[in-house]
């Protein structure tokens, strides 16, 4: 509780400690290869005055509370998935729309440029100074029993979802979503209260999916956007030299690095999945097209309605602008 109540405190004379709630655990490549070296560089450049301490998921607060905790200044910094706080972002929902065929690295580049280009999206992060944005790994389906091969097989199945966004995707596809924290998945599965789960590959590794499921179906539903940011009020009172150090080491460059490492990690996770004991169903082009269309058509309609309610005059034009930026991203 002391950590939550004091996001900025003296560690030693003229030193500032910023606690960062991470989306990934300490052994994840994004933490080991990007965030820890980045925090180390902040320490070096500031000559020991700026100390960023990284905390594992759930150590400071639950994943779905990180954004609000940073916004309120209960935590200095956060790294989270937009999908974990879906209901707060009627326009941010657009980051799960199909914006074209792209890699995680390319999408991460585009997300930063989309954020810079869309004042409407910037307003949804009010209270947080965004330092980097990147794409999340796509979602795939895991089943307790074999037989999950397409959209028709999902109808009526009880599928676990760890965020409102994942639950929404499942509902669009005809499944019955059960929204519970990732840490509770095993309990639901052991008590036979669920038929499967919608997970990213790194999440599947965290809950040891091979022990819980018999089949994985690679549907690659977009996982949306992840953010890295600092409380805006705290940012505003940082000494100018420390603010410059943070700003210079963030933005597009950091977004691209996060995307690059996450793409490599995703490839390794895919290799592990193929080498493991789970049966892996690779959807045909036709199966994938039907499933993605069912998801995207419903999401696009809902997003346009939410965007209009939020005051956006021409959601379709904004969507096309986002697609253009994604196409141009390198």
Average pLDDT over residues 150-170: 85
- Do 258 and 132 meet the contact criterion of CB atoms below 8 Å apart? yes
- Residue 8: is it exposed, middle or buried by C-beta count within 10 angstroms (0-12/13-18/19+)? middle
What pLDDT is recorded for position 14? 74
Tens-digit pLDDT profile for residues 264-308: 999 999 999 888 888 998 888 888 888 888 888 888 888 888 888
Tens-digit pLDDT profile for residues 45-61: 999 999 999 999 989 98
Among 209, 221, 220, which residue's Cα sits nearest to residue 278?
209
Residue in the block written with tokens 């390319």: 106
Average pLDDT over residues 181-190: 88
Residue in the block written with tokens 């929902």: 93
- Give the separation between CA 174 and CA 192, rounded to whole angstroms: 20
Average pLDDT over residues 309-324: 84
Tens-digit pLDDT profile for residues 12-36: 447 899 999 999 999 999 999 999 9
Beta bridge partners of 53: 19
What pLDDT is recorded for position 11? 44
- Give the separation between CA 187 and CA 178, rounded to whole angstroms: 13
- Do 159 and 177 meet the contact criterion of CB atoms below 8 Å apart? yes
How far the first Cα of the chain sits from its last, in Å, is 43
Report the mean per-residue pLDDT for the chain: 86
From the CA atom positions of the chain, what is the Rg in Å?
A: 20
Among 24, 99, 95, 87, which residue's Cα sits nearest to residue 56?
24
- Give the separation between CA 305 and CA 72, rounded to whole angstroms: 28
Give the DSSP per-residue string, 21-76.
Answer: E-SS-TTSHHIIIIIHHHHHHHHHHTTTSEEEEEE-TTSSS-GGGHHHHHHTTSSS
Give the pair of three-digit tokens for residue 11.
Answer: 């560690």
What pLDDT is recorded for position 98? 76
């Amino acid at each position: 509780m002391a950590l939550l109540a004091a996001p900025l405190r003296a560690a030693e004379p003229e030193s500032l400690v910023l606690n960062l709630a991470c989306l990934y655990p300490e052994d994840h490549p994004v933490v080991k290869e990007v965030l820890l070296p980045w925090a180390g560089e902040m320490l070096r450049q500031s000559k020991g005055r700026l100390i960023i301490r990284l905390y594992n998921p759930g150590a400071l607060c639950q994943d779905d509370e990180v954004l609000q905790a940073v916004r309120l200044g209960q935590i200095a910094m956060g790294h989270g998935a937009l999908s974990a706080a879906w209901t707060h972002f009627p326009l941010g929902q657009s980051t799960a729309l199909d914006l074209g065929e792209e890699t995680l690295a390319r999408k991460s580049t585009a997300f930063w440029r989309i954020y810079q280009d869309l004042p409407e999206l910037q307003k949804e992060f009010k209270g947080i100074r965004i330092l980097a944005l990147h794409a999340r790994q796509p979602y795939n389906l895991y089943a307790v029993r074999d037989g999950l091969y397409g959209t028709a097989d999902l109808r009526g199945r009880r599928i676990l979802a760890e965020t409102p966004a994942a639950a929404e995707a499942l509902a669009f596809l005809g499944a019955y979503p059960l929204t519970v924290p990732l840490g509770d998945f095993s309990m639901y599965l052991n008590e036979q209260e669920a038929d499967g789960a919608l997970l990213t590959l790194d999440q599947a590794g965290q809950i040891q999916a091979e022990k819980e499921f018999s089949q994985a179906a690679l549907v690659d539903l977009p996982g949306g956007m992840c953010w890295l940011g600092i409380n805006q009020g705290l940012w505003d009172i940082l000494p100018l030299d420390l603010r410059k150090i943070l700003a210079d080491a963030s933005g597009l460059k950091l977004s691209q690095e996060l995307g690059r490492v996450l793409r490599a990690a995703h490839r390794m996770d895919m290799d592990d999945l193929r080498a493991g004991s789970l049966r892996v169903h690779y959807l045909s082009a036709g199966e994938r097209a039907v499933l993605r269309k069912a998801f995207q058509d419903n999401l696009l309609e809902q997003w346009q309605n939410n965007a209009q309610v939020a005051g956006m005059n021409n959601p379709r034009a904004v969507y096309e602008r986002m697609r253009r930026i994604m196409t141009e991203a390198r």
